[in-house]
């Protein structure tokens, strides 16, 4: 069966399910022409997604190096591309995602594809729990030995982390896709800065802004402070900076080997 036909079946299945459960009906059931148009848009979106997004999110959008978009709150709350479009065209540099200069038509097709994928997954799992795990075997395609060697060698992960310390049991704490996303794009530890004024007085706090024009911190004194960048000396401490650097150095083999090793830390 062709993919457009599956999309149509998914859409019809969701409509039938809601009716059977006594849910409020939609304003109007889609006509055959509308269903065909949705399927065509989803198919165009599938091609665009495969060419631009599948390397990180997998061809079915269930995630890999990047997050699972089927479970994404942002994707599920999107209305006509209002949220997805911003991410696609603006990127997420802090998480390693570059911007993609796509047209509104291309974004609409990607949205149609993602909506079709969500419909298929939800229809498939209607009578059971949502599959919030991608099997570890799908991601752990490297070798434990090579991953351990990278952890203790070129990656220098062991300078900050320990498999018997902070990473003990990490593979139990997070499901496979979340574990991969967390080691590639860690978050939660803010950068701090010490700002020294020409007078020699210093301010220390959480770094909020640091560009060519201004630097701003939330000081330890609880106050917001900002200065022209050119007027002060700035010493930044970013505990996650090394992870950002590694993103530029990882090979596919490095990432798969490292994940395969981390998956053993149970």
Give tens-digit pLDDT for 106-155.
999 999 999 988 887 776 655 554 445 567 777 788 999 999 999 999 99
How much is the pLDDT for 250? 87
Return the CA Rg of the chain: 23
For 53-106, what is each residue's pLDDT tens digit? 988 888 889 887 788 898 888 898 888 899 999 999 988 877 778 889 999 999
Would you call 13 helix, strand, or coil by DSSP?
helix
The helix or strand, by DSSP H or E, that contains position 214, with its residue range, turns out to be: strand 214-219
For 37-65, what is each residue's pLDDT tens digit? 888 899 999 999 999 998 888 888 988 77
Contact status, residue 186 vs residue 243, Cβ threshold 8 Å: yes
Percentage of residues of the chain with pLDDT beyond 70: 84
Other residues' Cβ atoms within 10 Å of the Cβ of residue 242: 14
All domains of the chain in start order, with CATH = 3-124 (1.10.760.10), 136-187+243-262 (no CATH), 192-238 (2.30.30.520)
């Amino acid at each position: 069966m062709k993919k457009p036909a599956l999309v149509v079946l998914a859409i019809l299945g969701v409509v039938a399910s809601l009716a059977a459960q006594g849910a409020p009906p939609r304003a109007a059931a889609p006509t055959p022409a509308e269903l065909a148009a949705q399927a065509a848009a989803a198919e165009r979106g599938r091609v665009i997604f495969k060419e631009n997004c599948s390397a990180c999110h997998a061809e079915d959008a269930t995630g890999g190096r990047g997050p699972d978009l089927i479970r994404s709150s942002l994707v599920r709350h999107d209305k006509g591309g209002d949220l997805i479009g911003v991410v696609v065209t603006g990127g997420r540099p802090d998480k390693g995602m570059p911007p993609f200069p796509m047209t509104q038509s291309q974004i609409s097709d990607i949205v149609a594809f993602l909506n079709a994928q969500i419909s298929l997954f939800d229809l498939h799992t209607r009578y059971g729990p949502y599959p919030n795990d991608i099997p570890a075997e799908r991601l752990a395609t490297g070798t434990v030995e090579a991953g351990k060697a990278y952890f203790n060698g070129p990656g220098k992960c062991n300078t900050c982390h320990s498999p018997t310390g902070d990473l003990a049991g990490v593979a139990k704490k997070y499901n496979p896709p979340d574990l991969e996303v967390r080691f590639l794009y860690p978050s939660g530890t803010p950068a701090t800065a010490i700002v020294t004024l020409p007078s020699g007085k210093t301010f220390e706090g959480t770094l909020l802004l640091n560009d060519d024009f201004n630097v701003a911190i939330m000081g330890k004194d609880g106050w917001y402070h900002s200065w022209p960048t050119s007027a002060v000396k700035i010493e930044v401490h970013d505990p996650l900076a090394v992870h950002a650097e590694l993103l530029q150095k990882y090979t596919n083999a490095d990432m798969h080997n490292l994940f395969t090793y981390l998956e053993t830390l149970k």
